[in-house]
Chain A
């Protein structure tokens, strides 16, 4: 590397560095600073975890991510049911699940607030400020949503739901690696009147912003931005309380007397089979819309219009189809935008040789055609390819 020292700018630069190098430095560190630092280190060293490992230990974020899967059911249900004036359950579009005992406040994009209580046995209770209550048992896949305003209870049985250990979302794995390269320390920040350390992590389909108390290292607030139902939504978690006493009946799934019950039985498709979910979602769409494919693969608007409500209830197959749509969103979210393209707009199943979707996997391309067969490609097809 050569430098031109005759350049006056270089001289100014060097003079600046020299001034800094030669800056008079007070003697130090003073003893009170050393003592204060040692005290702070002692306090910090006693804590066995930092914010990120704490989050990991609690499997908290993992369960937030896992909740996305459950939210599929709730969110979809909410969207679908909103079409029916008798039932309103928009307040329960988002939910979060957690391990051990913990409570927090969840604020949804619609500014609805819900208190969530969770334990380490896979049970969760979510209560809205209008009295709506949802309980979820991970072990049984049994979800009960009680809605006082409409005196309705929705019971959802989810079969084949992946267990925590092999939850499908890569988010879990992402957060196991939070202390590594995926997490960024953004430095000091003020949040809700606290001096906090701010972290961010972006992985696959979600972005996490974490503010942790600089003294206690406890989380103050976590913003989780996820793609749900083709839309981006940010859920804010705050007011964290760990290792709390939980009331005995907090997770009760008893159905109150006098309530109308709607039951759904849903086989949750395998979220790890992204390609299959794309194909089957598109097949479902074409079956419901005279062989046509949707204009977009990542926007639910068009899809939800095809869901039929019979007697105020969505059919199990439609529910399952829409849940699969959400799993497709997960699949798309795991890839860079440039690694997939949907080309099905305006095409039908009769366009047998038209590529309607392609994605890149392990340096090769996979293409879905109008007849829904899947083949390998040498290169990404152009938009107009036939």
Chain B
């Protein structure tokens, strides 16, 4: 995406693709402060990438990078034992509070397990489950074959099941 002078039209890119990047990040992170920071980092990373390679699909690349940034951030936050499931009052306050709390708990349970997956596996799962990408689309962005993406997602979900089982088991033991 270049302007008339051959320079990359960053304003056009941010204006056109910013909302998608924003939604991708918000869905995964849920906190405005995290989203803001990752938003800017996503575009700066893509700028650096654009110096090294020709970008054919800005939207796909931006979503991929945004997902990676969000995964990295979640992993860091969990490592730092922060409350990663905490979401913005603005977001969580919408709708039925009880329903919101239940959904936050489910999301938190899932994300607590997701951060224990290898980053690329988590990225593939998020892109597939949340952004609705096909294995082929994910493979194109991550430099993997479709079958490799399928295997990664399958293995990731298997691992998630184990992690969830452990997590739920621990909860039950804690409650008894």
Chain A contacts to B: CB under 8 angstroms = 1, 3, 7, 9-10, 12-13, 15-26, 28-29, 33-34, 36-38, 40-42, 44-45, 50, 53, 179, 187-188
Q: Which residue of B lies closest to A41 (CB)?
A: B10
B60 at the interface (CB under 8 A from A): no
B22 at the interface (CB under 8 A from A): yes
CB-based contact B110/A16 at 8 Å: yes
Q: A9-B164, A25-B27, A44-B47 are contacts. A20–B107 as well, Cβ < 8 Å?
A: yes
Q: Which residue of B lies closest to A14 (CB)?
A: B129
CB-based contact B94/A17 at 8 Å: no
For the complex, give the distance between the alpha carbons of A287 and B34 in Å: 67
Q: Which residues of A are found within 8 Å of B36, using beta-carbon distances?
A: 33
Contact with A16, one of B22, B52, B109 (Cβ below 8 angstroms): B109
Chain B contacts to A: CB under 8 angstroms = 7-8, 10-11, 14-15, 18-19, 21-23, 26-28, 30, 32, 35-36, 39-40, 43-44, 47-48, 51-52, 72, 76, 87-88, 90-92, 94-95, 100, 103-104, 106-107, 109-111, 129-130, 150, 153-154, 157, 160-161, 164-165, 168
Q: A19-B110, A34-B14, A36-B40 are contacts. A13–B27 as well, Cβ < 8 Å?
A: no
Q: Which residues of A are found within 8 Å of B32, using beta-carbon distances?
A: 26
B105 to chain A, nearest CB (A): 8
Contact with A25, one of B76, B91, B107, B153 (Cβ below 8 angstroms): B91
For the complex, give the distance between the alpha carbons of A53 and B48 in Å: 10
For the complex, give the distance between the alpha carbons of A271 and B6 in Å: 45
Q: Which residue of B lies closest to A20 (CB)?
A: B107
For the complex, give the distance between the alpha carbons of A218 and B155 in Å: 39
For the complex, give the distance between the alpha carbons of A298 and B51 in Å: 41
* Known interface pairs A16-B106, A38-B10; 7 further A-B residue pairs with C-beta atoms within 8 A, sorted by A's residue number: A20-B107, A20-B110, A21-B130, A29-B18, A33-B36, A34-B15, A40-B43
A358 to chain B, nearest CB (A): 35
Q: A20-B107, A20-B110, A53-B51 are contacts. A41–B161 as well, Cβ < 8 Å?
A: no
Q: Which residues of B are found within 8 Å of A21, using beta-carbon distances?
A: 27, 129-130
CB-based contact A28/B130 at 8 Å: no
CB-based contact B95/A16 at 8 Å: no
For the complex, give the distance between the alpha carbons of A25 and B92 in Å: 9
- Chain A contact surface mostly: helix
Report which residue of B107, B153, B161, B168 has the largest number of chain A beta carbons within 10 angstroms of its beta carbon: B107
Q: Which residues of B are found within 8 Å of A18, using beta-carbon distances?
A: 106
CB-based contact B129/A17 at 8 Å: yes
CB-based contact A41/B95 at 8 Å: no
Q: Which residues of A are found within 8 Å of B94, using beta-carbon distances?
A: 24
For the complex, give the distance between the alpha carbons of A10 and B154 in Å: 12
Q: Which residues of A are found within 8 Å of B129, using beta-carbon distances?
A: 17, 20-21
25 intermolecular pairs with C-beta atoms under 8 Å apart: A12-B168, A13-B157, A15-B106, A17-B130, A19-B107, A20-B27, A20-B129, A21-B130, A24-B100, A25-B27, A26-B26, A26-B91, A29-B18, A29-B22, A33-B36, A37-B39, A37-B40, A44-B44, A44-B47, A44-B48, A45-B7, A45-B8, A45-B47, A50-B48, A179-B52
Q: Which residues of A are found within 8 Å of B111, using beta-carbon distances?
A: 16, 20
Q: Which residue of A lies closest to B23 (CB)?
A: A25
B19 to chain A, nearest CB (A): 7
B14 to chain A, nearest CB (A): 6
For the complex, give the distance between the alpha carbons of A33 and B30 in Å: 16
Q: Which residues of A are found within 8 Å of B88, using beta-carbon distances?
A: 26
A-B interface, 6 closest residue pairs, ranked by CB to CB distance from nearest = A16-B110, A19-B103, A19-B107, A24-B94, A19-B106, A29-B22
